């Protein structure tokens, strides 16, 4: 009884002459076989092989914790009471070890940073006489966001600060003065500010941070990726609803007057963390909570 020759495996399918040529060239048939559909076995397991990189989905930015209070410590670091689970501090300070929000002035200059911005004078918004346009309430120069090139340069500078917040252990970043166009004497447009905001939100998410919209009530910041909001005096100006309609309970509120604080607590204290602070935000001040 004769035996039938065994069926050829895919590995034997390479023509003998080609094998000889490959050997003469110092090559092997392995790459040819690996390139065949299903590899040498003709089947694919779908599992990554050695040397392959798997792409992981980015994790969602951390949300605000529920049922806790907030403190706004921009004027200096203070102790954190046990009932406070959210603290906002300047990017130059250490996080408190709770849900920490890193304050970054994204659209204006800090009053003590004028030397830094004088060295980048073309990024400071100036009037027709060459004078810086100033936010008179805080003594801050506005940044010039009128061209894509300037916005990209500002985004690189502020982006490095955002990355620093992430390295220091903050969970979120607050981008202050999104509404600087309202104080620009008509030199800036809303869309220019939002274009920079989009760049900064992307940078924050790339660093693993949640990103907070600061003020500009009525704007749906989720359209460009904002995750939460920091609302100053939304009770005073009857704007808290404008934030909750967009961000739900992902809103923290800071009030600076007793009557506004009390009204905000009455309307939103059960749903949102609200703190009554002094406007200079001094560490010696005793905050109040709802």
Q: Which residues contact 28 (CB under 8 A, 6 or more apart)?
A: 22
Question: Distance (Å, rounded) from C-alpha 105 to C-alpha 140?
Answer: 10
How does DSSP assign 216-278, residue by residue? -TT--GGGGT--EEEEESTTTTT-HHHHHHHHTT-EEEEE-SHHHHHHHHHHHTTTS-EEE--
- Position 58 scores a pLDDT of 63
Q: What is the mean pLDDT of each run of 10 residues along the chain (290 residues)?
A: 37 39 41 41 45 59 97 96 98 98 98 95 97 95 98 98 98 98 98 98 98 97 98 98 98 98 98 97 95
- Position 59 scores a pLDDT of 81
The verdict on domain 69-289 having CATH code 3.40.50.1820 is no
**224 within 8 A of 194, measured Cβ to Cβ:** yes
Q: What is the DSSP-derived secondary structure letter of residue 280?
A: T
- Position 45 scores a pLDDT of 45
Residue 174 structure tokens: 């607050």
Domains in the chain: boundaries: 1-47, 69-289
Question: Distance (Å, rounded) from C-alpha 166 to C-alpha 102?
Answer: 9
Q: For 227-252, write each residue's pLDDT tens digit.
A: 999 999 999 999 999 999 999 999 99
Alpha helices in 50-147, H assignment, sequence order:
114-118
**90 within 8 A of 74, measured Cβ to Cβ:** yes
């Amino acid at each position: 009884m004769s035996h039938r020759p065994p069926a050829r495996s895919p590995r034997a399918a390479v023509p003998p002459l080609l094998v000889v040529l490959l050997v003469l060239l110092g090559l092997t048939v392995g790459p040819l076989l690996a390139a065949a559909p299903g590899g040498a076995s003709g089947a694919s397991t779908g599992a990554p092989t050695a040397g392959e990189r798997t792409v992981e989905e980015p994790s969602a930015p951390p949300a605000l914790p529920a049922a806790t209070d907030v403190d706004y410590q921009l004027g200096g670091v203070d102790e954190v009471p046990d009932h406070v689970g959210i603290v906002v501090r300047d990017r130059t300070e250490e996080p408190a070890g709770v849900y920490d929000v890193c304050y970054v002035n994204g659209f204006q200059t800090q009053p003590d940073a004028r030397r830094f911005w004088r060295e980048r004078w073309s990024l400071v918004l100036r009037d027709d006489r060459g004078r810086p346009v100033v936010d008179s309430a805080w003594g801050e120069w506005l940044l010039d966001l009128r061209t894509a090139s300037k916005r990209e340069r500002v985004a690189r500078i502020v982006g490095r600060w955002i990355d620093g917040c992430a390295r220091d252990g903050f969970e979120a970043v607050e981008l202050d003065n999104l509404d600087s166009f309202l104080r620009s004497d008509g030199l800036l447009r809303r869309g220019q500010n939002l274009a920079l905001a989009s760049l900064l939100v992307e940078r924050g998410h790339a660093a693993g941070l949640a990103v907070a919209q600061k003020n500009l009530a009525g704007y749906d910041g989720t359209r460009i990726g904002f995750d939460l909001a920091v609302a100053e005096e939304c009770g005073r100006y009857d704007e808290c609803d404008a934030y909750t309609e967009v961000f739900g309970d992902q809103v923290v509120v800071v009030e600076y007057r007793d009557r506004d604080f009390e009204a905000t607590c009455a309307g939103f204290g059960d749903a949102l963390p609200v703190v009554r602070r002094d406007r200079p935000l001094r560490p010696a001040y005793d905050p109040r909570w709802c």
